[in-house]
Structure 1
């Protein structure tokens, strides 16, 4: 066979092979629509740009059980992480670096949708408790001296910026030397001897129940904050005059003597009053509702008089004082 004949035969054979391949490809069954379970192939598909549906990612990430939805910051970071290019993931940089690179996903505070939480996650149940220094001011400061105060309260936060609390205040005071001497002389005039008044002393307090709205000036994600508050309530003022007394107490084996002050005279007066104050807060944790607070509040009370029939008339005079309180609230 000549060389020309051999070349022609090779051409015919190649053409036949191509034709057979086309027939076999047309007759082959369609590829399965089911995803491959091969792990290596799945990993390669995830790293291929455009191979993973961003819409599906959003749908999966935004799904939460009833009552709780994820923070928008967390969703955005998660989506950015999955939608980054393979080069960013490999280099450990950019939005797609996720937990494998220098960029870490940030998670915000959970957003609740139940009756006991506001939209920012803070609790609707309000509480405060604290103690501090009580300072009489104005004319009250002429007869009474600074002492301590205790306050507790509870109520309802209608949202993260406004709440209403019912509060109880116990504001203790001492008495000035002039006020004590005034009552001392009154008792001497009534026939009590000086020996019987040895160790004569005095103290006082104001009990009050009030309804107090609170307006918060705090940003929801800030640890530092402030608030204003004020309200009206019922006040009861008491002044006690005391003398030291020796008492005896016994247990199973022995008896002991002790010294304590007992009331020998007492005056009370009551009326309505008002208060207003300003406080500063510090949140213990970004994800908590509890805040430490320091507060200064002005109290003014108008007391009912009895035509000045009391020996100690200072107890029935209108009073004003400022307790400075530290404690915890939410």
Structure 2
């Protein structure tokens, strides 16, 4: 056998072996895919009667999926016939609750939660107007009161006011001339020196004041007030006097202080009226800062000068404007 024939025979054997090995590999791969598919195939359990076991009966549909029949036919029918669009208003959930200021109904609170009993305290300045500038000068004031709020709009305040005034320089000068003309002397016979004459005046009052809140916001408010009552007016004139004070440690020494030389009082009715604003930091707070301005007028009865009344101006009517800031609670 020649070399060519020998090479040809070996090539045929190698080709046959390669073909056989390829066919075997393909067959094994196909068998493996079949086994894997069988493993992933869903397992359907056999149907078991509910009478013979506690497991629920299964219903098979056309798609092969099992459903439990334990719900019942009535429930399933209701579920199939349920229509979301046919829901009535009565089936809707209740509206969401809105949270705001609590609604009170007891005797100590109004419906908005504000107190029926209120208090006020404040201070400021007061200035005379009109003819009162002849007898009074800019001063200070104090105020306090208690009120009853019929509702959140209307209330009544019972208050006490103290308004202090200085005396104009021209008044002191004229009054000094009046006293000098009387030739007053001390008990030791020396003439009284009125060169250091000074003095002051004040009006205290007790009034009843209806108040109307015509604007109320979350923070800001505004009100109008009118009222009237009793007014007591006092004017006193002072002179510097020298006194002596003895201290157990430092001994006795002299001092100088003003003492009342002459004093006048007058009582009368009076009225007042004005407007004010309020401010509170929280819409639910009862404490409020307030600022107000009023006009006050007293109905004093004028008296003539006499040997016992050297200052008839105390009996003149008074008109002044107090401006007050304070706290209501």
**TM score, norm. by length of structure 2:** 0.67
2:178 matches 1:186: yes
Alignment counterpart, residue 133 of structure 1, candidates 121, 125, 129: 125
- Following superposition of structure 1 onto structure 2, how do residues 285-304 of structure 1 map, counting pairs within 5 Å? 285-304=282-301
Structure 1, unaligned stretches of length 5 or more?
Answer: 1-16, 32-53, 59-71, 78-106
Measured on the aligned residues, the alpha-carbon RMSD in Å equals 3.0
Contact 1:143-1:314 within 8 A present in 2 as well: yes
- Following superposition of structure 1 onto structure 2, how do residues 99-248 of structure 1 map, counting pairs within 5 Å? 107-192=99-184, 196-219=193-216, 221-248=217-244
Shift of 1:25: 7.2
- Rounded to whole Å, the distance in 1 between the matches of 2:144 and 2:203 is 14
| Distance change (3 Å), C-alpha of 1:248 and 1:156 | farther
User: C-alpha deviations, 1:229-287, integer Å up to 9, x for none?
Assistant: 11111111111100122334455523565432111001111110100011111113222
1:20 corresponding residue in structure 2 = 49
Deviates more, 1:256-265 or 1:245-254: 245-254
**TM score, norm. by length of structure 1:** 0.67
Structure (1/2) with the larger helix percentage = 1
2:25 corresponding residue in structure 1 = none
2:311 matches 1:312: yes
- Rounded to whole Å, the distance in 2 between the matches of 1:121 and 1:249 is 58
- Rounded to whole Å, the distance in 2 between the matches of 1:127 and 1:207 is 19
- Rounded to whole Å, the distance in 2 between the matches of 1:146 and 1:166 is 25
Contact 2:302-2:313 within 8 A present in 1 as well: no
| Distance change (3 Å), C-alpha of 1:329 and 1:191 | same
Shift of 1:20: 1.6
2:323 corresponding residue in structure 1 = 324
| Distance change (3 Å), C-alpha of 1:158 and 1:252 | farther
Query: Match of 2:233, SS?
Result: strand
- Rounded to whole Å, the distance in 2 between the matches of 1:251 and 1:283 is 52
Structure 2, unaligned stretches of length 5 or more?
Answer: 1-45, 58-69, 72-89, 186-190
2:90 matches 1:76: no
- Rounded to whole Å, the distance in 2 between the matches of 1:302 and 1:308 is 19
2:249 corresponding residue in structure 1 = 253
- Higher Rg of the two aligned structures: 2
- Rounded to whole Å, the distance in 2 between the matches of 1:157 and 1:259 is 51
2:83 corresponding residue in structure 1 = none
Alignment counterpart, residue 272 of structure 1, candidates 262, 269, 276: 269
